[in-house]
Amino acid sequence: MKVYVSVDLEGITGITHWDEAEKGTPDYIEFRERMTQEARAACAGAFAAGASEVWVKDAHDTGRNLLASELPRGIRLIRSWSEGPLPMMQELDASFDAAMMVGYHAGAETGASPLEHTFTRRFTGVRLNGAPASELLLNATFAASLGVPVVLVTGDERTCEEASALNPRIRTVPVLRGVGGSTVSIHPEEAIDRIRRESEGALRDDPAACAFEVPDRFVVEIDLANHATAHRMAFYPGAVRRGARGISFDTDDVFDVKRLMLFAMLASWDAR
């Protein structure tokens, strides 16, 4: 059994402020360690369930957060960014039997987390087929298009609710809840225990039961913080300007959605 684990930081237990998520700040050190511990728990559960391969993507910010020496032996760790269109899901293909998402967080414009965003804070809103789109939704939909079921999601309560809406069989571990600019969290050790237990349980069950239907059509809307970025992105093939700071894009291929998001991120990062 081959398992893929994508690990983010803004949905790790207790995290509340951007100072705790950004490399170079004093508070980051603690949450880098917690990120590693929760990733390790998911990997340990996968190996206990009989996984022969576990691939881990460090999917936060620099892509250089997880402490490799603290992860279980036998994993394959993907660090930094290839600059391709699958930044949080690099190397995922149809050869994997299941995927897990650890430390995931609420998407932009949900009001569900002090750290809510979808890929970058320079997107003020992202919608897929009219509904707010989180990193979980976009990454899980891509995995589903390959026939790889997402069997476990951990993170804030909104993220776990989104996972359950995709398929109630997906196991979830909600470790914190956003309340305005604050969070309410479970204890870090409880989170680690639950993640390991649910990871093992998810794989001992039938992973295929966690599958969900992928739409035939994808209409993506992105609201950008800078109107000049929207102007630039309107030249992306197939993109249409929508208002002063938005674009829309229509496709029947989920890979096109991932490619659009990559170029929109690059365009927003380069904005003056």
For the whole model, what pTM was predicted? Answer: 0.97
Three-state DSSP state, 188: helix
Beta carbons within 10 angstroms of residue 115's beta carbon: 23
Write down all domains in the chain, each with its CATH number in brackets.
2-112+134-210 (3.40.50.10780), 218-269 (no CATH)
pLDDT in tens, 247-266: 999 999 999 999 999 999 99
Q: What mean pLDDT is predicted for residues 179-204?
A: 98
In DSSP terms, 251 is beta-bridged to: 218
Radius of gyration of the chain (CA): 18
Work out the pLDDT band at 231, boundaries 50, 70, 90. very high
- Structure confidence at residue 51 (pLDDT): 98
Work out the pLDDT band at 241, boundaries 50, 70, 90. very high
Q: What mean pLDDT is predicted for residues 89-110?
A: 97
Cβ neighbours of residue 192 under 8 Å, at least 6 residues apart?
37, 38, 40, 41
Distance CA(251)–CA(268), nearest Å, equals 22
Work out the pLDDT band at 205, boundaries 50, 70, 90. very high
Convert 53-92 to b/e letters by CB count within 10 Å (16 or more is b). bbbbbbbbeebebbeeeebeeebebbeebeeebbbbbbeb
- Structure confidence at residue 133 (pLDDT): 97
Three-state DSSP state, 202: helix
125: amino acid identity, one letter: G
Pairing of strands 123-128, 218-224: antiparallel
- Angle (CA) 4-158-110 rounded to 5° is 115
Question: Lowest-pLDDT range, 142-151, 198-207, 263-272?
Answer: 263-272
What are the phi and psi torsion angles at 239 (to 5°)?
Answer: -80, 150
Q: Cα dihedral angle (115, 120, 121, 127), rounded to 10 degrees?
A: -90
Which is nearest to 202 in space by CA: 98, 80, 81?
Answer: 98
Longest distance between any two alpha carbons in the chain, whole Å? 52
pLDDT in tens, 8-53: 999 999 999 999 999 999 999 999 999 999 999 999 999 999 999 9
In DSSP terms, 221 is beta-bridged to: 127, 248
